[in-house]
Amino acid sequence: MDHIRSKKFLMILILVCVTSYASLYGALTGITSSDASDYLFLALYTTSGSSIPSFMSFIALLGPFVGVILGFDGISGEKSERTLYRIAAQPIYRDSIINGKFLAGTTLIFMMVFAMGISIGALGLLCLGVPPSLEEIARIFVFLLFTAVYISFWLGLSLWFSVICQNAAASAMAAIGVWLFCALFMGLVAGMIANLVYPMNNEMQALYNSFGNYTLELDINRLSPYYLYSEAVTTIMNPSVRSVNVITVESLSGAISGYLSLGQSLLLVWPHLAGLVALMLITFAGSYVCFMRQEIRAK
């Protein structure tokens, strides 16, 4: 209820609604100007308009912002208002405070993500008049699940910074810095490291090092939750994606073109989901341990 009644939640809700419905408008514009595909309903979430990114692109970029806003002042804000000490003085378990902060934010994220995803599908159904298949519904559900876990990771990270920082501004800047690095600069760093380890300054080096260069760059990029999430949801929402690793000429020999089933797509991306869940739990565990070790009653 603290989240729902706060002004920052209203700001987040307006931002998410505006971007989501703008992406739906762009998708409808792009769909009507192109040929119908076998998975037309999925195009509502993946198709971009002339100048409007798709819903999937919006969520990948702005989802961390939602998690950061919900968690950056979870503990530091209580410290600044000097209410944390009064809460800790009550006859409750101390870990209930940090558990409640994380679970409340996670619950709100899951509700918001699934509500927006379902509303996009409902409006798209009214506009297209084409009902989705069961596989499309299942793929959208998995996509929304990935999205909620992805945003919950950023909630856990911002809550961790909120525990170790003295004020809300410092925790917000730290979380936003990590977000910008993962979204904008991680690819540049991965490319630089790959070029140092496997240089491709001439044709001979490019011939021998191209495979190692691309593989190393891909592995480093996958350390970023932004890249991990983008690669996973692209595989889920685009059944024509058949591999998330390097494809060689030998692997294409004898392959039959077509779409993957949902089960086969899940086999490709289950390590991504496991990685995102692990990152989310690691950030929450870090905030939990740091909070339990802090002395907050003495002030």
**Across residues 188-208, what is the average pLDDT?**
83
Confidence of residue 35 (pLDDT cuts 50, 70, 90): very low
- 268 domain residue, yes or no: yes
Question: Does 79 fall in a domain?
Answer: yes
pLDDT mean over 77-104: 80
Residue 255 CB: number of other CB atoms within 10 A? 10
pTM: 0.88
171 vs 256 pLDDT, higher one? 171
pLDDT for 146 equals 93
Query: Tokens 């525990």 identify what position?
Result: 163
- Region 105-109: mean pLDDT is 92
The predicted structure's pLDDT at residue 298: 47
Evaluate whether residue 63 is within a structural domain.
Answer: yes
Of the listed ranges 24-33, 142-151, 235-244, the least confidently predicted one is 24-33
So what's the pLDDT on residue 109?
92
Mean pLDDT across 207-221:
83
Task: Please indicate, yes or no, if residue 149 is contained in any of the structural domains.
Answer: yes
Do the domain assignments include residue 299?
no
In a domain, 298, yes or no: no
How many domains would you assign to the chain?
A: 1
Domain with 232 in it: 2-293
| Domain assignment present for 176 | yes
- The pLDDT assigned to 203 comes to 75
The reported pLDDT for the residue numbered 145 is 94
Average per-residue pLDDT for the chain: 83
